[in-house]
Amino acid sequence: MAGYILARLLSLIFVLFVVSLIAFFLMHAVPGGPFDLGERRLPEATRQAQLEKYGLDQPLLVQYGKYMWHALHGDFGVPFQRPTETVTGLIADRWPVTIKIGIPTIIIGYGLGTILGVIAAIRQNSWIDYLVTSVGTLGLTVPSWVIGTWLILILSVRFGWLPTGGWGEPKHYIMPVLAYSLAPMALVARYTRVSIIETMRADYVRTARAKGLSENRVMISHVARNAAIPWVTVLLPEIPNILTGSIFIESVFRIPGLGSYFVSSTLSRDYPLILALTLLIATLWGITYLITDLLYTILDPRIRLTRP
């Protein structure tokens, strides 16, 4: 197992290298540069000086090499958007905010979604099943920013109960977590329901019941455990998305997290930040998939990750 994990981590390094290379050349292929802001064209010397200041006058391969060399030493440069900060400082400062929204979102979305999915599966074709299915469809089809806007219009503008956004107090969590958790809750509920219904009809469950096992034991030992495999496959990789924030949620509710930087760094051609965020996402995904694969072996002993 240790060898397998090591091999996967080494392959992740290779993946990160390829991802960084693709991201680097793609972002430089987009027209416009970080300093193309002015209403009139800058003198050529000023343009050149701006490029030199950030090393953007050098050949692309040299720029890439220098960036990666510094990155390997923990220096991801200075974000053009925030000249008084460093990229690592910015991520260290903003990411915890995103995580603080992400964790309650995961707890509510996955916890409530699982409970609702299980109830709907056990009470298949009952009113509660229909309700969960309907809410699930709504959660998946209505974008989170629309839900966020509704919440603001009702709770802030109409009734004045909550601020439209902001950060720093418990009340600032309520609307963003509500809006953000609806989609994962719907997704989890639907997958949980389907997995459990399918598993409940499996031969080995029928055998377990025929052997006289109690319904609780059948559900916990046989149904839940086997139904968890598709649940882990589909839903676990959603977690990195939640933990790196939503541009919509953070923007609508004025949350000073990392999410908005995924878009603003691209729009403002903030090359150091684009690369750092791309690597961050790639790393998180790589690790999540590794964890997912390891979980398979725990949930189903028949699964082996290494050759026998």
Q: Which residues bind another protein (CB under 8 A)?
A: 30-46, 49-50, 52-53, 81-85, 93-94, 149, 152-153, 156-157, 160, 163-168, 251-252, 254, 256, 260, 264, 267-269
CB nearer to another protein: pick between 72 and 157? 157
Nearest-approach distance from CB 254 to another protein, in angstroms? 5
In terms of Cβ atoms closer than 10 Å to its own Cβ (0-12, 13-18, 19+), residue 40 is: exposed
CB nearer to another protein: pick between 65 and 96? 96
CB nearer to another protein: pick between 48 and 137? 48
CB nearer to another protein: pick between 89 and 237? 89
Nearest-approach distance from CB 44 to another protein, in angstroms? 8
Half-sphere exposure of 241 (CA within 13 A, CB side): 11
Nearest-approach distance from CB 82 to another protein, in angstroms? 7
Own/partner pairs, 56-64, CB within 8 angstroms, 24+ separation: 56/271, 60/24, 60/25, 60/28, 63/24, 64/20, 64/21, 64/24, 64/25
Nearest-approach distance from CB 13 to another protein, in angstroms? 32
32 in the Ramachandran plot: left (φ > 0), alpha (ψ -120 to 50) or beta?
left
Which residue type is seen at 56?
L
- State both tokens at 127: 């009113």
Nearest-approach distance from CB 255 to another protein, in angstroms? 8
CB nearer to another protein: pick between 41 and 211? 41
- State both tokens at 239: 């977690």
